[in-house]
């Protein structure tokens, strides 16, 4: 397995990608479907300790796909000008602990990032973690577009 990608904040493209990973609210998670075709879905995520943390409902295609093949892409939106392309290739793992077990580590930053969206959906970070009980951890191995 390749080593995790290490961002160098002194490199302008790395610094810009890191900033976006910490602030962007929506990314696309690409997995490989059972039929061999790509499957991409928009996701909310939290960038923490060099990886993306994603809460998911347990019976989704992305969870099934990751169980079968851990190779993924994490693709950030292109921005208003269409020129802010950030795509990371890596591997995903499903935490053996439910999302609720991660709340002590993720609740405050997740709430800070998504509070307005959660309120619109009549959710809290806690109810989100209960419903989206599978925690997906994406560790990037390569920055393939920036």
Q: What's the pLDDT tens digit per position in 102-141?
A: 999 999 999 999 999 999 999 999 999 999 999 999 999 9
* Domain contains 106: no
CB atoms within 10 A of CB 57: 11
* Domain contains 23: yes
pLDDT at 85: 81
* Domain contains 53: yes
Domain, as residue range, for 47: 12-94+136-145
* Domain contains 37: yes
- Sign for the pseudo-dihedral over CA of 115, 121, 124, 129: negative
Q: Calculate the alpha carbon distances from 44 to 1, 13, 112 in Å.
A: 26, 22, 13
CATH code of residue 38 = 2.30.110.10
pLDDT at 91 over 70: yes
pLDDT at 48 over 90: yes
- Helix, strand, coil percent content, the chain, rounded in steps of 5: 35, 30, 35
Lowest mean pLDDT segment, chosen from 33-47, 48-62, 76-90, 123-137:
76-90
Side-chain-side CA neighbours of residue 109 (13 Å): 17
pLDDT at 10: 92
d(CA 11, CA 33): 34
* Domain contains 20: yes
* Domain contains 58: yes
pLDDT at 1 over 90: no
* Domain contains 122: no
* Domain contains 119: no
Number of domains in the chain: 1
């Amino acid at each position: 397995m390749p080593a995790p990608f290490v961002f160098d904040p002194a490199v302008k493209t790395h610094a810009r990608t890191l900033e976006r990973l910490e602030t962007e609210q929506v990314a696309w998670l690409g997995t490989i479907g059972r039929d061999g075709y790509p499957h991409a879905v928009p996701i909310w995520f939290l960038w923490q300790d060099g990886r993306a943390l994603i809460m998911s409902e347990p019976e989704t295609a992305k969870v099934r796909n990751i169980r079968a093949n851990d190779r993924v892409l994490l693709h950030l939106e292109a921005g208003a000008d269409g020129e802010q392309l950030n795509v990371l290739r890596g591997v995903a793992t499903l935490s053996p602990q439910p999302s609720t077990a991660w709340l002590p580590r993720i609740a405050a930053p997740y709430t800070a990032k998504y509070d307005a969206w959660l309120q619109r959906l009549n959710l809290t970070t806690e109810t989100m973690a209960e419903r989206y009980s599978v925690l997906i951890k994406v560790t990037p191995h390569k920055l393939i577009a920036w």
